């Protein structure tokens, strides 16, 4: 949803600019930041999963070489 929120937020910001509506522009900016935060959180979670898998593989390899 991060990408969609960023795009919708950007659209609301542009609409707020065109209609001279500071509240709509602010809402769009907030939605865009929230979408970016979701993307960052997803990226960090994926990195954490990869790190856990790498650690598990290394432990398994050590267990087979050190009986």
User: What mean pLDDT comes out for the span 12-38?
Assistant: 96
Whole-prediction pTM = 0.72
Please, which pLDDT band fits residue 45 given cuts at 50, 70 and 90? Answer: very high
Indicate the Cα dihedral angle 6, 40, 29, 1, nearest 10°.
30
Nearest CA among 16, 10, 15 for reference residue 29? 10
Q: How confident is the model at residue 65, as a pLDDT? A: 76
Q: Where are the domains of the chain?
A: 2-65
Q: How confident is the model at residue 63, as a pLDDT? A: 80
Q: Are 9 and 29 in contact (CB under 8 A)?
A: yes
């Amino acid at each position: 949803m991060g990408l969609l929120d960023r795009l919708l937020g950007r659209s609301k910001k542009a609409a707020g600019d065109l209609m001279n509506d500071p509240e709509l522009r602010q809402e769009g900016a907030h939605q865009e930041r929230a979408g970016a935060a979701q993307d960052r959180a997803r990226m960090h979670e994926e990195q954490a999963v990869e790190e856990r898998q790498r650690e598990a593989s290394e432990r398994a390899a050590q267990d087979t070489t050190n009986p």
